[in-house]
A = this chain, B = another copy of it.
Amino acid sequence: MLMDHTIVTLDEMRKKTKQMADTDELCSQHGGKYVEAFCDDHDAICCIECITENHRQCKMVRTLEQASLDIKTRLDPLVYRMNELEKQAVSVVEDRKTNMEDLLKQKKDVLTEVNKTRTDMQRYFETLETKLKEEIAQTHESLSEELQLQAHNFEHIFTNCRKRVLTASVNYGSNRDIFLTAFKLRKQCELYKIYIRSQSENSLRNDYSLHMNEIIKKFTNQIKSMGNVSIEQKSTNIVPSFYKYTRLSDCKYVGQILV
């Protein structure tokens, strides 16, 4: 019952198998002694020393010759069992290999998806950049036009403040000519003054200010991974319930019957 829960490591298993091979005819407990008997009570092969030490109270101790009578007729269960074990082992190996192949494919798909997500994001950022750049270009174009128009209008005032007209009039004209010219220029100045005053509220200093999207600004601090891959594990039926639930004590009993 205790061994039922014992987990045998592969190393132990190999060691035991090797021990048995080495002790073909020799007792594993008593070096140099040949095995001579079989104890049914312990399901053990014994040398003479084993029997005197451990099997004196046992009820079913027979010589190997007695125990091996008709052995050939009692081998079928062992052969069946070895076949089952072999099938079992092969199916587990195949299942593990299939799972490995599937995982390799899945890994490839996952990497493709990760790559796609990354390139999609990169392309999306390029789209956002193009859009923002277009908006900036548009903003700049209309603001430039406005400023250029303002400059143009004030340039017009400048080129129309014709002091030369007044000078010419003063130098060559009659008082009446000068008066009329001065009158016109004064009226012009008044109009320009009104215009300048009307424009004073529009003559603003303009500066650009870039406001990055808050999520993008915080992105590198908030996003530390693109995601993760988890392994989903499901129980399988490759190891049949017979193997899973049989008790070791039952095994032993079955074993005794087999041989």
How far is the CB of A122 from the nearest CB of chain B, in Å?
A: 5
Interface status of A95 (Cβ within 8 A of chain B): yes
User: Which residues of B sit under 8 angstroms from A223, Cβ to Cβ?
Assistant: 128, 213, 215-216
Contact A151 B96 (CB under 8 A): yes
B243 touches A193 (CB 8 A): yes
Which B residues are CB-close (under 8 A) to A183? 38, 45, 259
Pair B229/A64 contact, Cβ less than 8 Å? no
Tell yes or no: A220 within 8 A of B by CB: yes
In contact, A161 and B82 (Cβ under 8 angstroms): yes
Q: Are B128 and A125 in contact (CB under 8 A)?
A: no
In this assembly, does A235 line the interface, its C-beta being within 8 Å of a C-beta of chain B? yes
| Inter-subunit contact B85/A192 (CB<8 Å) | yes
Q: Which of A84-120 contact B (CB under 8 A)?
A: 85-86, 88-90, 92-93, 95-97, 99-100, 102-104, 106-107, 110-111, 113-115, 117-118, 120
**B251:A230 contact, CB within 8 angstroms:** no
Say whether A233 faces chain B, with CB atoms less than 8 Å apart. Answer: yes
Which chain A residues (166-191) contact chain B, with CB distance < 8 Å?
A: 166, 170, 174-176, 178-180, 182-191
Copies, count: 2
How far, in whole Å, are A232 and B204 apart by their CA atoms in the complex? 9
Q: Say whether A69 contacts B175, CB under 8 Å.
A: yes
**Residue A27 CB within 8 A of the other chain:** no
Contact B67 A216 (CB under 8 A): no
B233 with A227: CB separation less than 8 A: no
A100 to B238, CA, bound (A): 78
Q: In the complex the two chains form, is A227's CB within 8 Å of B132's CB? A: yes
A1 close to B (CB within 8 Å): no
The answer to whether B16 and A255 have CB atoms under 8 Å apart is no
A sample of 14 cross-chain residue pairs with beta-carbon separation below 8 angstroms, ordered by A number, consists of A7-B194, A38-B179, A75-B182, A79-B166, A83-B163, A86-B163, A88-B157, A92-B150, A93-B151, A99-B147, A128-B226, A186-B258, A197-B243, A212-B226
